[in-house]
Every structure is written in structure tokens, then in C-alpha cells.
A and B are shown apart, each in its own frame.
Chain A
Amino acid sequence: MTATDNSAPASAGRGWSSELRRRAPLLAGVGFVVLLACLPLLNISIPGILPTPTYQPGAMALMSLAMVFAALALSYNMLLGTSGMLSFGHALYFGAGAYGLGIALEHLGVPLWPGVLIALLGGLVIALITGSVAMRVNGIPFAMVTLAFAQAGSVLVRRNASVTGGEEGLSLNTEGVPDALVGVINTRNLYWACLVMVVVVYLVALWVDRSRLGHLASATRENELRVRVLGLKPNRARLTLFVIAGLCAGLAGMAYMLLQSGTVPRAVSADLTITVLVMVVLGGVGYRWGAVLGGVVYTILDQRLTVLAGSDAIDALPSVLRIPLSEPLFILGTLFILMVLFAPGGIAGTVHAWIDRRRHRNARDEGLRELDADASANDEPVEVRA
């Protein structure tokens, strides 16, 4: 707003409006975060979406979980959206955060903050090692290798029951955690903690996208050969991004651990990675707000569909309808297929395309389609030999 002071009186009006337009996303973002921060103090009921009014623990827990997954989806979008890496092992780093914090609190007996640091360090090491091996290959083989690593992590967690609690899961040792973050009464504080976490992850994602690193990664997504010819090192940029995304996923995992007072092996499984992939694609690959929206929409849909599955209305239906409708994952999977087939840009991509068409500008990049053009350009025929 102060920019108007510097501009000449004649162009004051235009300067002010363009300044406003430039800052509008920032203002909207800050406003939105402030609104979210105030929600626990307000009594707003959104029937059909939130189970309780916003000031009660039920709604706050659901919103916090939605924020955890929004952060996870944001971190995944750094991989898939910014640098075009299709990873099927992202849950490994989420699990590393959750289990790392849990183990540090349980077995090392440290307070919360050193525990967070230890978990972050652990996640860093895991991401560095697995990332540098997986990056020996590109594209689809990369997806398979990351999947294998996550599977190994999942096996490790299930096997070493003395450390991780095995199939039972690991519950949070609350000794080192500040009292303000423990228990249902303090769901509000946990909600704010999750909000801070998601804002931090968003800022990291924003920084990555605007930084030299992010530009290099997305240039590599477009044309790796060209980046190499220019004398740049695409693999180092991609590995750095992979590690940053892993650390952000770890942060989300720690928030999950605190929020749920524990974690189960599912936090490391391939299922979770696929869930995140679904979130990002639903929201729109390559759009930060799309990833956030995808995470929130998925979490709420999943929760609501589970409630719907147990309802009497569904029970009364004939079995041809009842069985599919009582499986939330069936509905989400079908929705996902339809999105990929008919709206490949996801929610954000579709909205942006619509806005752009209205503005009669050239169509902007549509995340996935561009990734694909790139993938097929790099394709080399693979032989089937018998």
C-alpha cells in the first residue's frame, strides 16, 4: 500500500491497483492463514464436511489431519510437480519423521525439540542414501526403485518390534512433550502447531519454486540433456530437492505423530504414498495450492465416505450398490481414474485453464501433460528379447 507514496500523482491510481494485484496472492494467503488460526475460537458449523462445530476437538482434529496431509502433499508436489520425479516411496520419509520422533522420545528420553532435530537428521540421512541410489535410474524405473525402498522400510518397521512396536505401532511417549501439546483438551494447540508446520512447508515449497535450485530442477524436467550441455549438474539439484521434500514429509510425519499420539506401520507403507499421489493429482500437479487443496479434500472425503459407508441409508441398498459404496477407497479410486482421464490438470489445473481461457492467453502449462511430453521425448525403445 505504501508504494503509492513513491509514484507520481498522475499514475497513482494505476500504480496502486497493479501493486494490489501483485500483492493479492500474498494478502489472500496471509488472510487465509489468519482465518484458519481463528477457527478454533469461533463457533462455525459446516454440516456434511466437519463432524462438529469448529471449536470442538472433533472438527479440530479432522482439520489438523487435513493440514498434515496438505503438507505431505506439498512436499510430494516438490518431487512430482517441480522436478517431475514420480516417486512411490515418499511415505518412507513421512514414516521416518513419525517413527524418528517417536523413537527419540521413547528410547533416548529426550525432550520434544531435540527429538525433532534427531528425527530430522535421521530423515536427512535416509533420504540422502536412498535418493542417491534411486537416482541412478530415471522415470518409471525410478518409481519402481523408490517403491522397493519404501517396502524395505516398511518391513524393517514391522520386524523390529522392540524398537518400533511392530504391527501394533508406536505410541507417543508424552514425558518429553510439553503439556500444552498433550491430550484431547489441547487439540486446539495441536491444531495451531499443525498450522505452523503447514505454513513452514508451504514457505519452503515457495522458496524452492522461486530459487535457482527449483528452476534447475524444473529445467531438468523439461530437457535434461540441455541442462547438462549448459554445464549444470541436474542430478545434484534433483537430489537436493529430493532431500528437501523428504525433510518436509518428515515434518508432516512428526506433526502426525503428535496429533495421533502414535503411529502405525501404515505410515511407511506404499499405500500411503499412493494416497499422497492421489491427493496431488486430484489437487493438480505443479500447483502449490492444488496440492494443499488435494490433501484437504482427500482427507475430508475419506473421513466422510467412511461415515457414509457405515450409515443406514447405505445398509438398506441392494448389495450391487451397497458393496461398492461402503468401500471409501473404491469411490476414491474411481474418482481418481475419472480425474486422470477427463481432467488431467486436477482441480487447480482445471481452474487455471478456465481462467486462462477467459483471459484469452496462451494455455499455461498443464502439469501432467507436460511431464509426459518430456517423458516420451526421452524415451528410448526397450527391446523385448526372448
Chain B
Amino acid sequence: MSTLILILITGVGLGALYFLVASGLSLIYGLMHVLNFAHGAFLTFGAFLGFEIARRIGSDTWWAFAASVVIGGVVGALFATLTELALIRPLYERHIEQVLVTVGLALAAVALFEGIWGSDPIYISAPAWMNETTSVFGAQVPNTYWVLMAAATALLISLVVFLRFTRFGMIIRAGVENRKMVTALGIDVRKAFTLVFAIGGSAAGVGGVLASHYTGYVSAHLGSTLLIFAFIVTVIGGLGSLTGAAIASVLVAVLQQFANYYLGGTGDLIVVVALAAVLLVRPAGLLGRTA
């Protein structure tokens, strides 16, 4: 029983991490139809700078952890904004080229990170509490998972509030529905594009810092591995659907954890099989609009 609970809770925690990455991807795709391969680079950059700042402050205090999360978010947002302005904006409406540019950026950025921080993983330390476990019905759950879940929940709530109740959120939703109409009403949709990139990048940056605590190290390839699962999650959830991404993140991660435990470490394969199954039954994804 305790094993079951442990697997379930760690699955939800991993799903929270997937959601931090997938939410940005899904928003960006929903509004701009850009498949952002550089999202992994935003994440890795956030993780590295978060690690640097934590190391300078003293990495096992809560202050250092908080600072690294904030820095990760800010850095991710800045990197994403710059990417949008310099690389994506000149190629508006040319979707394949936009994908290619982000692929190039991901290549170059990962190579640069390897050049700066080396290709070996750097192990990091965290506040003592995060290395301990909490007992839930007899299951010893590592505390990192609670942090992940808290962060993802906060992100989901703030995104929903932002999209529902603010002016910018309204513009973003309207821009998704009918971009031409919004432009005709004299609203600059391109600002919304930049904003969406900044939000997605910020979520990825925070996700990067938390992912480094989840894995226990930072490396130049941290983002690439997570990115593939984030892609799978966004496709299963339905491209452009935030709720779909949230549900799919949890489903995929729980499935993955169960398969890893009970089916001899086949989690990664099961996820791909699940993707194939969803595509065969519902090509638009769980909550995607049927084409």
C-alpha cells in the first residue's frame, strides 16, 4: 500500500515538473503556432544561473533556494523575450522557419552551455529539508516533490487568473480566437506574443531550477530530456489547451512511474505507447479541439 502511495505521489510530483515545461509550450503553440525547441534551452539556462546564484549565497539555505528560483524565472523570461524579439518576430507566419530557428538556437545554446559549464553534470546542494522525506500513510515521500507540486499549482492558478481576469489575458484569448479581428480593433497582438513567450520562458526557468533539485544536478542536457516529455504531454493533452496539458502531465508521469516500478523500468516506452494510443483514438489530444 505504501509503495502504491509513494508511486502515486512521486508521479504527481514528476507531472508537476512536466507541467512547468509544457504549459509554456502549449501557450506558445496555442497562440502563435510555434513549436519551440528552444524551450529546453530556456530551462537549462534558468537552472545554471539559479545554481550560480545559490552557490554564491550559500546553497543550503532557504534564501539561496528562493533567490535561485526567482533568478531562474527572471532569466528564463529574459532569454525567451529576447528570442521572440530577435528570432521569432522577423519570421511571423512562417511556421516551419520559426521551428527551424528555435532548433538552431537550441543547438547553439546547448553547445555554449557545454563550453561554459562543461559537459559533466554538476551536483548541487539544497536546503536540508528538501533532502528529507515526509511520511504519508507509511510512504516516505522526498520533500522535493512537494515543492514541485506547490510550484506547478501556483503556476496553474496564476495562469488561469491571468488569462481570465486581466486585460492582457483577454487579449491573448481573443488573439487565439481571431487574430485579425483583434488587430483590426487597434490592439497590437504582437505584444501578446512577446508576453506569452516571456511567461512560458519564466515557467521554464523556474522549472529548470526545480528540475535541478529533482535530479540533484545541473547539466547542459537537462532541458533536452525534459523537452521531449513536455512535447508528448502537450500532444496528449491537446495542443494549445492549458487544462489538457495539466491533466496529461499528471497522467503521463503517474503512468511512467508505475511502469518503471512494476514493468521493469519501461516507463519511457509506455509513455510513447500511450501517445500512439491517444493519437489513434483522438488525434487532436484529450482536450484538443477536433480538427
Q: Quick one: closest B residue to A367, CB to CB? A: B96
Cα distance A144–B275 in the bound complex, in angstroms: 10
Whether A385 is near chain B, meaning CB under 8 Å from some CB there, is yes
CA distance A213 to B209 in the complex (A): 50
**Interface hit among A119-127, A332-340, A353-361:** A332-340
Q: How far is the CA of A376 from the CA of B179 in the complex (A)?
A: 13
Query: Given contacts A145-B235, A372-B96, is CB(A382)–CB(B240) below 8 Å?
Result: yes
CA distance in complex: A278, B107 (Å): 10
Q: Which residues of A contact B93 (CB under 8 A)?
A: 372, 376
Q: CA–CA, A104 to B201, complex, Å?
A: 46
B95 in contact (CB, < 8 A): yes
Give the interface segment out of A15-23, A149-157, A233-241: A149-157
User: How distant is the Cα of A66 from the Cα of B276 in the complex, in angstroms?
Assistant: 35
> What DSSP secondary structure best describes chain B's contact surface?
helix
Interface residues as binary, B247-287 with A (CB distance below 8 Å gives 1, 0 otherwise): 00000000000000000010011011101100110010001
Query: Is the CB–CB distance between A330 and B99 below 8 Å?
Result: no
Render A152-177 as a binary contact track against B, CB cut-off 8 A, 1 for contact. 10011001000000000000000000
- Residues B108 and A155 in contact, CB atoms below 8 Å apart: no
Tell me if B189 counts as interface (CB < 8 A to partner A).
Answer: no
| Interface check A258, CB cutoff 8 A | no
Closest to B177 in A: A381
Q: Is B111 within 8 A of A327, CB to CB? A: yes
Taking A277-B103, A340-B100, A384-B176 as contacts, is the C-beta distance between A143 and B111 under 8 angstroms? no
Q: Give complex CA distance A381, B115 in Å.
A: 40
Report whether A386 and B160 are in contact in the complex, using a CB–CB cutoff of 8 Å. Answer: yes
A382 near B30 with CB under 8 A, answer yes
Interface check B104, CB cutoff 8 A:
yes
Q: Does A326 contact B (CB under 8 A)?
A: yes
Q: Count residues of chain A with CB under 8 A from any CB of chain B.
A: 53
> Which A residues lie within 8 Å of B27 (CB)?
384
Contact A137 B111 (CB under 8 A): no
Q: How many residue pairs at the A-B interface have CB separations less than 8 Å?
A: 176
B33 touches which one: A134, A140, A151, A340 (CB < 8 A)?
A: A140
CB distance from B275 to the nearest CB of A (A): 5
Q: Which of A334, A344, A376, A384 contacts B173 (CB 8 A)?
A: A384
Given the interface contacts A140-B95, A141-B239, A155-B269, does A274 sit within 8 Å of B103 by beta carbon?
Answer: yes
> Which B223-249 residues sit within 8 Å CB-CB of chain A?
224, 228, 231-232, 234-235, 239-243
Residues of A within 8 A of B291 (CB): 380
How long is the Cα–Cα vector from A173 to B235 in the complex, in angstroms? 41
Q: Indicate which residue in B90, B104, B241, B268 contacts A385 across the interface (CB closer than 8 Å).
A: B241
C-alpha spacing A152/B267, complex, angstroms = 10
Q: Is B101 a contact of A341 with CB atoms below 8 Å?
A: yes
Cβ contact within 8 Å between B90 and A148 = no
* Distance in Å: Cβ of A315 to nearest Cβ of chain B: 13
Chain B residues with CB under 8 Å of A278's CB are 103-104, 107
Given contacts A323-B116, A371-B96, A382 and B33 within 8 Å (CB-CB): yes
Are the C-beta atoms of A341 and B91 separated by less than 8 Å? Answer: yes
CA distance A379 to B96 in the complex (A): 12
Q: Which residues of B contact A368 (CB under 8 A)?
A: 94, 96-97, 100
Report Cα–Cα, A136/B291, bound state, in Å.
Answer: 12
Question: A312 at the A/B interface (Cβ < 8 Å)?
Answer: no
Q: Are B283 and A136 in contact (CB under 8 A)?
A: yes
> A324–B115 contact, CB under 8 A?
yes
A243 within 8 A of B: no
The answer to whether A204 has its CB under 8 Å from any CB of chain B is no
Q: How far is the CA of A23 from the CA of B265 in the complex (A)?
A: 58
Contacts of B268 in A (CB 8 A): 151-152, 155
A5 to chain B, nearest CB (A): 49
In the assembled complex, B31 has its CB within 8 A of some CB on chain A: yes
Asked if A151 and B272 sit within 8 Å, CB to CB, the answer is yes
For the complex formed, measure the closest distance between the CB of B189 and the CB atoms of chain A, giving whole angstroms: 13
Tell me the complex Cα distance, A156–B109, Å. Answer: 28
Task: Please report the C-alpha to C-alpha distance between residue A277 and residue B276 in the assembled complex, in whole angstroms.
Answer: 24
B99 touches A337 (CB 8 A): no
Given the known A-B contacts A381-B178, A383-B30, are A141 and B243 also in contact in the complex, defined by CB atoms under 8 Å? no
Mask, B94-128, CB within 8 Å of A = 1, is: 11110111011111111110111000000000000
Q: A383–B241 contact, CB under 8 A?
A: yes
Which residues from chain B contact A336 at a C-beta distance below 8 Å? 100, 103-104, 107-108
24 intermolecular pairs with C-beta atoms under 8 Å apart? A137-B235, A143-B99, A144-B35, A144-B231, A149-B272, A270-B228, A323-B116, A327-B115, A329-B108, A329-B110, A330-B107, A330-B112, A330-B115, A337-B105, A341-B87, A341-B90, A368-B96, A368-B100, A375-B95, A379-B33, A381-B177, A385-B242, A386-B159, A386-B242
**New A-B pairs, 4, CB < 8 Å, besides A323-B115, A372-B96:** A274-B103, A281-B100, A327-B111, A382-B289
